[in-house]
Amino acid sequence: MKHLYTPPALIKKLFSGFIWESNNDKILLSFDDGPAIESTGIILKTLSEKKIKAAFFCVGKNVSENLSLTKEILDEGHLIGNHTFNHKRLTTINNRETNKEIDDFNILLKEKFNYDVIYFRPPYGRFTISTQKTLERKNMKCVMWSLLTEDYKNSFETVKFAVENYLRKNSIVVLHDNVKSKNIIKDSINFIIDEAYRKGFDFGSPAESLL
């Protein structure tokens, strides 16, 4: 059961060059797949109310279609990371396509927002043996996670179970900025925050948690 929510220790050891937990014993919230008209605004409003900064691993295609939402993420002081341009599984494409997926995203953010992308998260959490070296050549770092909430199943009870059982003081938590989780995303964020404070944990910004 545990492996459904938190990565196996062996995988983390084999890929120790990836970031699996925060580096400052504070929880980092992260959101994959956006920006999305259905959910990004809800997420940003909730984070603003709680005064928490998060990492948004965006999809290039969604960025290009929602430039104003992307700007809002940046204006609110959140980090944007690379989640590829078309949300392709790295295990199903060759190295040339992988490079293009990563580079096209970085170019878009630089051209539209003069933003230098440092962090990457592979779609579906799938990567290959060569992923780390590919990112090193681009001076980028791979950010994985230590708690997958499965909020994309659109079940608040599932999120609660994951958080109650597997949230730790240094967790990098994955939530989703898309239509699948929009109905529960506000409640999910608030529950994570309340549960963290109840346990005596705190939240860190991407800048300090991913050093």
What predicted TM-score, i.e. pTM, was given to this entire model? 0.97
**What is the per-residue pLDDT for 19?**
98
C-alpha distances in Å from residue 55, one per residue of 31, 76, 91, 102: 6, 11, 24, 17
List, for residues 26-65, the tens digit of each pLDDT value: 999 999 999 999 999 999 999 999 999 999 999 999 999 9
What mean pLDDT is predicted for residues 5-10? 88
Domains of the chain from N-terminus onward = 2-209 (3.20.20.370)
Transcribe 168-204 into DSSP letters. Answer: -TT-EEEEE-STTTTTTHHHHHHHHHHHHHHTT--B-
Residue 197 scores a pLDDT above 70: yes
Tell me: the pLDDT tens digits for 73-104?
Answer: 999 999 999 999 999 999 999 999 999 999 99
pLDDT of residue 4: 73
Q: Is the pLDDT confidence value at 147 over 90?
A: yes
- The answer to whether residue 2 scores a pLDDT higher than 70 is no
